[in-house]
C-alpha cells in the first residue's frame, strides 16, 4: 500500500505560496479572461474594434484601438452599466488599458488587436480562447455524462458554438498548411500550379478558405454531413467568387468514393480523425476509400492531436491537446504516435511519417 507523501522530496521545493498563486490568483485571472473573451466575441465588441480599424485604414504592427465606453454602448446597443463592468474587468485582466482617465477613453493593450481582434492575423488566438469559453456552460452536460457514461455528438452543439469550434480548428489548419508547405515545398509548388485537393470534413469552410487563398490555381472539393456547416461554407465560396474551383457535397465518404471518378493530389483531414465513428473497422473503411481517391503519387495530410497515455511522463506543453481530450473523451477516439502508426499499418497505405516542429505536427501518409 502506498503511503501518502507528507513532504516534497524534489530538489526544487514547491512552497504553499507558489501553489496559492498558481491555483487561486492565476486561475482567477485565466478564468475571467476566458469569460471576457467569450462574451466580447458574442456581444460583438471585438468585431466592432476590428471594423473600426478597417474603416480607418490603419496598418502596421501592434495596432492599438482607441474608443470610449459610450461609443461602444451606443453603436452596439448594449446596456452601459453592464458594459462598464465588462470594461473594468477587462482592464484588470490586461485586455484593455486607460488612454485618458479624465475623458474616459480606453484602448486595447499591446498586441491585443493582433491576438484577440484581427482574425486574419498570424498570431490570432481569439478563436481558440473563445472555444474554451463554452466549456463553462457545458459543465452540466459533462457532470451528467460522468455519472451515466452517455455519449454526446458534436452535431448536437448550438450553431454558434459549432462555428467557434470550427474557427479554432481552422487556426490549427493554418499551422498544418504552414508546416506542410515548408517540408514539402516542391510538392506544394506542383499543387499550386494546377492541383486537385479534397477536404474530408470541410465543415464551415474555414480551412478550405485558408488553402484556396494560397493555392489559387488548385481545384477543391469539400465533403461533410452537417448541412448547417455546409450552408456557411457555400456562402464563403460565393463571397470569394470561387464557385468554379470549389465544389461542396453533403455526402458520406463511402458514397462519394463510389460516385466520384477523379483522383486527388492531396487529401486533407484537419481535426477530423478523432470525430469519426470510434469503431476502427469503420475507420479502416474510410481510409480504404481515401486510398482509392488518392493519386499514386499523392499525399494524405492529417492534422490531429496526438495524445499520449494519461500516465506517460510529460515531455512538452500539452494543455490544448489534453483539453481537447477532456471535452470529447467519450465521443471521440484519439491516437498517440505509436497507436496511429499501427492503425495506418492496418490500411492499404504503406508510408506514414510524423513530422513535428516546435508545437506543430502533421502526419504525411502515402500509398
pLDDT tens across the length of the chain (367 residues): 455 665 555 556 889 999 999 999 999 999 999 999 999 999 999 999 999 998 887 777 789 999 999 999 999 999 999 999 999 999 999 999 999 999 999 999 999 999 999 988 888 888 878 878 887 777 887 788 888 888 776 656 666 666 666 766 667 788 899 999 999 999 999 999 889 999 999 989 999 999 999 999 999 999 999 898 899 999 999 999 999 999 999 999 999 999 998 999 999 999 899 889 889 999 999 999 999 999 999 999 999 988 888 888 888 888 878 887 887 777 788 899 999 999 999 999 999 999 999 888 999 999 9
What lies within 8 Å, CB to CB, of 48 at 6+ separation is 72, 75, 76
On whether the CB atoms of residues 167 and 209 are closer than 8 A, the answer is no
Whether 204 contacts 174, CB under 8 Å: no
CATH of domain 139-366: 3.40.50.150
- Assign 268 to helix, strand or coil: strand
- Note the pLDDT of residue 4: 61
Q: How many CB atoms lie within 10 A of CB 19?
A: 10
Chain centroid to CA 208: 14
Tell how far CA 168 is from the center of its chain: 2
Helices (H), 56-125: 69-76, 80-92, 112
pLDDT score recorded for residue 149: 85
CATH label, 16-126, candidates 1.10.10.10, 1.10.490.20, 1.25.40.340, 1.10.10.370: 1.10.10.10
pLDDT at 298: 97
Q: Write down the pLDDT at residue 233.
A: 93
16-126 and 139-366, same CATH topology: no
pLDDT of amino acid 9: 53
Residues 6+ positions from 152 with CB-CB distance below 8 Å: 141, 145, 330, 331
Where are the chain's structural domains?
A: 16-126, 139-366
Nearest to 126 by CA among 50, 15, 222, 239: 50
pLDDT at 8: 53
Amino acid at each position: 500500500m502506498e503511503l501518502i507523501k507528507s513532504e516534497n522530496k524534489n530538489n526544487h521545493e514547491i512552497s504553499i505560496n507558489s501553489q496559492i498563486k498558481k491555483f487561486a490568483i492565476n486561475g482567477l485571472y485565466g478564468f475571467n479572461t476566458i469569460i471576457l473573451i467569450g462574451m466580447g466575441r458574442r456581444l460583438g465588441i471585438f468585431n466592432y474594434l476590428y471594423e473600426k480599424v478597417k474603416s480607418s485604414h490603419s496598418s502596421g504592427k501592434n495596432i492599438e484601438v482607441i474608443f470610449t465606453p459610450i461609443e461602444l454602448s451606443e453603436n452596439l446597443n448594449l446596456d452601459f452599466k453592464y458594459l462598464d463592468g465588462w470594461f473594468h474587468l477587462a482592464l484588470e485582466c490586461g485586455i484593455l488599458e486607460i488612454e485618458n482617465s479624465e475623458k474616459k477613453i480606453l484602448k486595447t493593450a499591446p498586441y491585443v488587436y493582433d491576438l484577440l481582434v484581427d482574425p486574419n492575423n498570424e498570431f490570432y488566438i481569439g478563436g481558440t480562447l473563445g472555444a474554451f469559453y463554452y466549456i463553462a456552460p457545458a459543465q452540466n452536460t459533462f457532470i451528467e455524462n460522468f455519472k451515466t457514461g452517455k455519449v454526446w455528438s458534436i452535431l448536437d452543439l448550438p450553431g454558434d458554438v459549432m462555428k467557434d469550434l470550427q474557427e479554432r480548428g481552422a487556426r490549427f489548419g493554418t499551422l498544418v498548411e504552414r508546416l506542410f508547405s515548408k517540408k514539402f515545398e516542391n510538392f506544394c509548388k506542383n499543387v499550386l500550379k494546377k492541383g486537385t485537393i479534397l477536404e474530408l470534413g470541410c465543415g464551415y469552410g474555414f480551412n478550405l478558405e485558408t488553402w484556396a487563398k494560397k493555392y489559387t490555381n488548385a481545384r477543391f472539393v469539400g465533403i461533410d454531413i452537417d448541412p448547417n456547416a455546409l450552408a456557411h461554407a457555400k456562402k464563403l465560396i460565393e463571397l470569394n467568387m470561387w464557385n468554379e474551383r470549389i465544389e461542396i457535397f453533403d455526402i458520406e465518404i463511402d458514397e462519394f468514393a463510389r460516385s466520384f471518378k477523379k483522383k486527388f493530389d492531396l487529401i486533407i483531414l484537419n481535426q477530423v480523425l478523432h470525430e469519426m465513428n470510434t469503431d476502427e473497422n469503420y475507420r479502416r473503411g474510410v481510409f480504404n476509400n481515401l486510398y482509392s481517391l488518392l493519386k499514386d503519387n499523392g499525399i494524405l495530410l492529417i492534422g490531429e492531436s496526438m495524445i499520449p497515455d494519461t500516465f506517460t511522463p510529460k515531455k512538452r506543453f500539452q494543455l490544448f491537446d489534453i483539453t481537447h481530450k477532456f471535452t470529447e473523451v467519450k465521443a471521440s477516439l484519439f491516437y498517440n504516435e505509436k497507436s496511429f502508426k499501427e492503425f495506418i499499418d492496418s490500411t492499404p497505405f504503406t508510408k506514414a511519417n510524423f513530422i513535428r516542429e516546435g508545437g506543430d505536427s502533421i502526419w504525411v501518409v502515402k500509398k
